[in-house]
């Protein structure tokens, strides 16, 4: 079977449901056609502690993205500007190689639009002896059907919950349905993998089942962040672990300063995105979570909002 035959001829893999004939090579709303494209496969040390640990998460970065947030921190791969074609067999081999490097898990970043190929790569890797937990690292913009299709493949969901506001979701991602779609997907994730479970590797806890929900604070959006925290806490309690992030990096401002006309155009429409999130607002969000009774969540401190947290998409581990 050709790899592209794993893809639909009328694509509904993501909530955009664009209907592209991906099997026939047509590009979808995500920017991907029938070819699997990978930009990096390497140990990654900047995920949450039970995902990365000291050994590192075996991270495979896929190119293109269904959501296309205007502030994307990984815009070069989300726009398909980095990466090379890779076969399903090669991705399976990447998983085996990452295990040999001591990875705690295999971490697929933005795999939604390649989901059938990604699942097949896991199946083949397991046939070769790869026995690590599979982490599905997603924007949260998933259909419930797509999440159900991951049953038996995915062990841990590392998912975003970006917005509680339809207006904000429309403003930055042209996805006004994001809040309800992401919530329905999250319901399925929790039902599928259950509450967080851990084992121990090298004296450190490693998450082997469960859901981590990330929320990245955006400039000027403190009240929406509070709504996200309340919603997730009231709906899921300890069934998920929250990760409240202050690492927003105004990459658009740097690009505009370097002469990027598109970045300058975006900042003209959304000037707030040229700013970092003030430490005082982040502390207010953490205090809010504490007051709600949220326990055992992840937070960031120090220089989290640095571009050093964005890895180089230089084809490491791909070719």
% pLDDT > 70, the chain: 97
Give yes or no for residue 304 having a pLDDT over 70. no
Q: Quick one: pLDDT at residue 302?
A: 61
pLDDT interval class at 306 (50, 70, 90): low
CATH for 39-309? Answer: 3.20.20.70
Please write the tens of the pLDDT for every residue from 179-207: 999 999 999 999 999 999 999 999 999 99
Q: Per-residue pLDDT for 309 more than 70?
A: no
- Which residues, in sequence order, are bridge partners of residue 223? none
Evaluate whether 44 touches 38 at the Cβ level (below 8 Å).
no
Q: What is the residue-wise DSSP string for 98-138?
A: HHHTT-SSEEEES-GGGHHHHHHHHHHHHHTT--PPEEEEE
Q: Report the chain's mean pLDDT, rounded to a whole number.
A: 95
- What is the mean predicted confidence (pLDDT) over 224-252? 96
Please, is 5 exposed, middle or buried when counting C-beta atoms within 10 Å of its C-beta (0-12, 13-18, 19+)? exposed
Report strand pairing: 106-109 vs 134-138.
Answer: parallel
Q: Which two tokens stand for residue 124?
A: 């083949």
Pick the closest to residue 49 from 229, 246, 287, 243 (CA basis): 243
Assigned token pair, 304 = 């989290």
Q: Enter the tokens of residue 189.
A: 């994730």
Q: What is the mean pLDDT of residues 114-131?
A: 98
Q: Is the dihedral of CA 95, 79, 313, 158 positive or negative?
A: negative
pLDDT of residue 310: 78
Which pLDDT score, from 0 to 100, does residue 147 have? 98
Q: Measured between alpha carbons, how far is residue 30 from residues 77, 110, 135, 185 in Å? A: 11, 11, 21, 18
Ranges assigned E (strand) in the chain: 37-44, 57-62, 84-85, 106-109, 134-138, 156-160, 197-201, 204-216, 241-245, 298-299
What pLDDT, on a 0 to 100 scale, did the predictor assign at position 7?
96
Task: Count the neighbouring beta carbons within 10 Å of the beta carbon of residue 49.
Answer: 12
> 223: which 2 tokens?
């009240």
For the chain, count helices (H), then strands (E).
Answer: 11, 10
**How many Å apart are CA 258 and CA 255, to the nearest integer?**
5
Contact 285, 221 (CB under 8 A): no
Average pLDDT over residues 293-298: 95
Q: Report CA-CA distances (Å) from 75 to 54, 79, 81, 117.
A: 27, 6, 8, 22
Lowest mean pLDDT among 148-157, 278-287, 294-303: 294-303
Give the pLDDT of residue 307.
45
Instruction: State the pairing for strand pair 106-109/84-85.
Output: unpaired
DSSP annotation of 6: G
pLDDT greater than 70 at residue 150: yes
8 A C-beta contact, residue 264 and residue 274: no
Q: Hey, which residues does 44 pair with through a beta bridge?
A: 57
Residue 278 is classified by DSSP as P
pLDDT, tens digit (0-9, with 9 covering 90-100), for 30-57: 999 999 999 999 999 999 999 999 999 9
Which of the four pLDDT bands, split at 50, 70 and 90, describes residue 308?
low
**Average pLDDT of 248-258?**
90
Which secondary-structure segment (H or E) carries 82?
none
> For the chain, which residues make up each domain, given as ranges?
39-309
């Amino acid at each position: 079977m050709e790899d592209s035959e794993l893809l639909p001829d009328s694509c509904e893999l993501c909530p955009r449901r664009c209907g592209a004939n991906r099997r026939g090579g047509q590009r979808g709303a995500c920017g991907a056609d029938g070819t699997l494209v990978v930009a990096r496969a390497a140990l990654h040390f900047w995920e949450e502690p039970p995902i990365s640990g000291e050994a590192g998460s075996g991270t495979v970065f896929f190119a293109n993205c269904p959501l296309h947030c205007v502030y994307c921190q990984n815009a070069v791969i989300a726009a398909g500007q980095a990466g090379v074609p890779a076969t399903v067999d090669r991705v399976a081999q990447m998983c085996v190689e990452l295990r040999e490097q001591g990875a705690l898990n295999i971490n697929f970043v933005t795999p939604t639009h390649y989901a059938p190929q990604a699942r097949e790569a896991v199946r083949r890797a397991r046939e070769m002896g790869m026995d690590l937990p599979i982490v599905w690292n997603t924007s949260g913009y998933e259909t419930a059907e797509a999440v159900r299709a991951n049953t038996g493949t995915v062990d841990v969901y590392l998912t975003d919950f970006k917005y509680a506001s339809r207006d904000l979701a429309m403003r930055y991602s042209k996805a006004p349905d994001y809040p309800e779609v992401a919530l329905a997907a999250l319901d399925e994730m929790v039902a599928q993998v259950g509450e967080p479970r851990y084992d121990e590797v090298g004296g450190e806890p490693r998450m082997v089942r469960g859901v981590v929900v990330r929320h990245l604070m955006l400039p000027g959006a403190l009240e929406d962040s509070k709504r996200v925290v309340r919603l997730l806490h009231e709906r899921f309690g300890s069934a998920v672990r929250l990760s409240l992030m202050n690492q927003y990096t105004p990459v658009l401002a740097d690009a505009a300063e370097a002469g990027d006309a598109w970045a300058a155009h975006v900042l003209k429409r959304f000037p707030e995105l040229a700013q970092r999130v003030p430490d005082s607002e982040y502390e207010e969000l953490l205090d809010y979570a504490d007051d709600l009774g949220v326990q055992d969540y992840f937070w960031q401190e120090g220089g989290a909002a640095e571009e050093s947290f964005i890895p180089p998409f230089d084809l490491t581990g791909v070719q």
